């Protein structure tokens, strides 16, 4: 199965868009805009499992890899997201090797894991799905606490982790900082560096939640999966700026 997220990350850096809103036309537009992946956020977004199939169909209209952030590290969530056609899952709050192994097991059919079979959406959309699923589906675990950074080597030693994804706002909170995408505090940057270095050692793609302005800096320190596009914030910002401009 073609997987633009993996391809782009291997060739340099994969840039992604993030979907919070319940309008598949936006997911389609994101996928057609040229992003390497489009991630539907079921944790903090308004999309739910009922709406997910429509969003994944929409993403498949463009070239981006369909990714889902599940709300929690639960096998049934990962299973539903993959069955619906996601080619990658981002799993929140993975702080230990045991939690990482749980995420991997939910992504892989036996004997590599414990995923239950029945990929009704995936097999409609991806030819030869079953044969390729265990190798092609990407298991991406979130690193978003001090504890996770401390455990990064053990987490990455779990076979089957394809990428990590740093949640900078949550990581900031556990460092005692305000929840933002970037920080001036050196501990924040040390944590990012620790994760990237560990990824390089383990052959895992390092990813991070960011924004367009931060992308060059993140790429420079070695991130190869960077989310820079969003549906919600730019739309809200435009409401404000367009009104201001119109008022003159």
Report 44-73 residues binding its own copies (CB under 8 A).
44-46, 48-51, 53-54, 57-58, 60-61, 71-72
Name the minimum Å distance from CB 79 to its own copies: 7
Pairing verdict, β 65-69 and 225-230: unpaired
Q: List the one residue from 117, 135, 154, 190 that touches its own copies (CB under 8 A).
A: 117
Q: Rule CB under 8 A: which of 164-193 touch its own copies?
A: 167, 169-170, 173-174, 176, 179
Buried b (16+ CB within 10 A) or exposed e, 135-157: ebbbbbbbbbbeebbebbeebbb
Residue 99 sits at φ, ψ, to 5 deg, of -65, -35
- C-alpha 192/C-alpha 188 separation (Å) is 6
Name the minimum Å distance from CB 178 to its own copies: 8
Beta bridge partners of residue 226, listed in sequence order: 15, 208
Name the minimum Å distance from CB 173 to its own copies: 4
Q: Is 120 in the site for its own copies (CB under 8 A)?
A: yes
Which positions from 208 to 247 touch its own copies by CB under 8 A, shown as an x/- string?
A: ---xxx-xx---------x-xxxxx-xxx-xxxxxx-xxx
Packed helices 49-59 and 24-32: angle between N→C axes, nearest 10 degrees: 30
Q: Which residues are catalytic?
A: 44
């Amino acid at each position: 199965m073609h997987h633009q997220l993996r391809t782009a990350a291997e060739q340099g850096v994969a840039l992604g868009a993030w979907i919070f809103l319940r309008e598949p036309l936006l997911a389609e537009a994101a996928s057609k805009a040229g992003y390497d992946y489009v991630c539907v956020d079921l944790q903090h977004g308004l999309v739910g499992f009922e709406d997910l199939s429509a969003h994944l169909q929409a993403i498949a209209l463009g070239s981006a890899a369909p990714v889902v952030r599940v709300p929690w590290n639960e096998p049934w969530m990962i299973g539903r997201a993959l069955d619906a056609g996601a080619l990658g899952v981002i799993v929140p709050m993975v702080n230990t090797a045991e939690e990482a192994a749980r995420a991997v097991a939910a992504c892989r059919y036996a004997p590599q894991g414990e995923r239950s079979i029945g990929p009704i959406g995936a097999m409609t959309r991806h030819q030869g799905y079953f044969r390729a699923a265990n190798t092609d589906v990407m298991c991406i675990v979130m690193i978003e606490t001090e504890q996770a950074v401390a455990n990064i080597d053990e987490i990455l030693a779990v076979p089957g982790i394809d990428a990590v994804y740093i949640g900078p706002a949550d990581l900031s909170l556990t460092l005692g900082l305000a929840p933002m995408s970037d920080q001036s505090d050196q501990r924040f940057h040390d944590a990012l560096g620790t994760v990237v270095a560990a990824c390089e050692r383990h052959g895992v793609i390092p990813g991070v939640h960011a924004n367009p302005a931060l992308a060059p800096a993140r790429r420079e320190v070695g991130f190869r999966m960077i989310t820079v596009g969003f549906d919600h914030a730019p739309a809200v910002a435009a409401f404000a700026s367009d009104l201001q401009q119109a008022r003159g």
